[in-house]
Amino acid sequence: MKITALKCTVIGDNPVLRIVTDEGISGYAQAESAKTYLKPHVMFYEKLILGEDPRDVERVMTRIRRVGAFKPWGAAVSSIEMALWDIAGQAAGVPVYRLLGGKVRDRVCVYNGNVRFPMEGRVDPQAHADNMQRMIESPENFRFIKQGIAFHSGMPRGVDGFSYGEPQPGGFHPNRGLLTGKGFAHMMACIEAMRAVCGTAVGLALDCGPGMVVPDAIKLARACEALDVMWLEDMITGDYTPYVLADLYREVTRSTSTNIHTGEQIYLRQNFVELIEKRAVDIIGPDPADMGGIAELKWVAEYADLHGILMAPHGTGDGLLGLAALVQVCATLPTNFIAFEYPTGRPEWWYDIIDGLPDPIVTDSHIEVWDRPGMGVTFRLNAARKYLPEGDGDFFD
């Protein structure tokens, strides 16, 4: 079997790629939503993989893995890897989890980071409590829910004098600095309001940055000890930060009993070595759609387990193909696995163009692992074709 073509398009908000073979089997994968600029980056790799046997996943990946970078520029390599596993599973007639060593669990736990409701610009504690209540009432019955605070929220712009820095415009979480007393007190009031709504039945995880300085990170972590928060994520580095700063995280982690979490932006196993070997955090959260793929995620999970570090993979924008990949790999992870961040299909019509997902997908915060070959999901081609952008009408041909 040989790779004959690599194709990429954008369906809705997600880049989608297809690896075509000479035996009629195609593998599909999806990059994180909002990365609509990714298509030419994906196609850069075509000349490096044409003619290769897609079932030799590691051999193909050695040709392209080194030509990538931290989020968002690891997404193309990661998507190619997942599409290769899809082909390998289909060719062998087995689900991908079989090729990764088999199941450790028959169902995988997920947490809510993406079933969201608009807060309509409000950043007050009651708005956070009301929003949390809506997420708790979502039919997935999530065991725990992650909410953004501090520099991963509207607080820097919505609370006058939140920090000593000037609020920065634009996306990709650009703010950083020391919090004011007013800002810290507001943030804690919001956390306490959400925690009160959660009670003992639902856990609360907090996405905090990047952008916090070490003294504020320690102060927040210690203030959350009595609140039984699941974790504090990406306080110092994180989304779209092309470095790790493990020593700073280690300083925070050693100062508190609150779980400290990071890792969604990190590309490749080599860049997790410091975090893991120094025990700089309690939990890591790689995203298979950014870190180099699902085999890379499993390698890191196993190495983290050897060092007593827990695993809660990121995945909020990975779409329904990303969801399938996360289910397959998380079924195989060691027992340091907690849960992965549940991605959804956006726009809603994504659910009309994909076959193979259970209905409902999530029951009591868990997804049953399916046994269909490959990633186990396929496009409804006639339904999907109408969403192809102009110029990409031959994507499925």
pLDDT digits (tens, 9 = 90+) for 286-335: 999 999 999 999 999 999 999 999 999 999 999 999 999 999 999 999 99
State whether 16 and 114 are in the same domain: no
Q: What is the CATH number of the domain that holds 354?
A: 3.20.20.120
Residue 393 belongs to a domain: no
The domain tally of the chain equals 2
As a whole number of angstroms, the distance between CA 195 and CA 160 comes to 24
Q: 107-111 and 26-30: which strand pairing?
A: unpaired
First CA to last CA distance, the chain? 19
Separation in Å, CA 304 to CA 71, 110, 119, 290:
21, 19, 36, 18
Query: Is 392 inside any structural domain?
Result: no
Tell me, yes or no, whether 140 and 36 share the same domain.
Answer: no
pTM score of the predicted model: 0.97
Residue identified by tokens 């983290």 is: 304
Same domain, 368 and 283: yes
Is the same domain home to 115 and 260? yes
Helical axes 181-198 vs 214-223, angle rounded to 10°: 30
Residues 38 and 144 in one domain: no
Amino acid (1-letter code) at residue 121: G
Number of other CB atoms surrounding residue 111 within 10 Å: 23
Clarify whether residues 185 and 323 are in a common domain: yes
Rounded Cα distance, 296 and 169, in Å: 34
- Give the model's confidence band at 36: pLDDT under 50 very low, under 70 low, under 90 confident, else very high: confident
Same domain, 218 and 353: yes
Residue 76 belongs to domain with CATH number = 3.30.390.10
How far apart CA 285 and CA 101 sit, in angstroms, is 21
Residue 221 shares a structural domain with residue 167 = yes
Asked whether the beta carbons of 261 and 282 are under 8 A apart, the reply is yes
Q: Work out the number of other CB atoms within 10 angstroms of the CB of residue 141.
A: 15
Same domain, 51 and 127: no
Which range of residues forms the domain containing residue 361?
A: 98-375
CA distances from 298 to 24, 58, 60, 133 (A): 29, 14, 18, 34
For the cut 90, the answer to whether the pLDDT of residue 171 exceeds it is no
Predicted pLDDT of residue 170: 83
**127 and 29, same domain (yes or no):** no
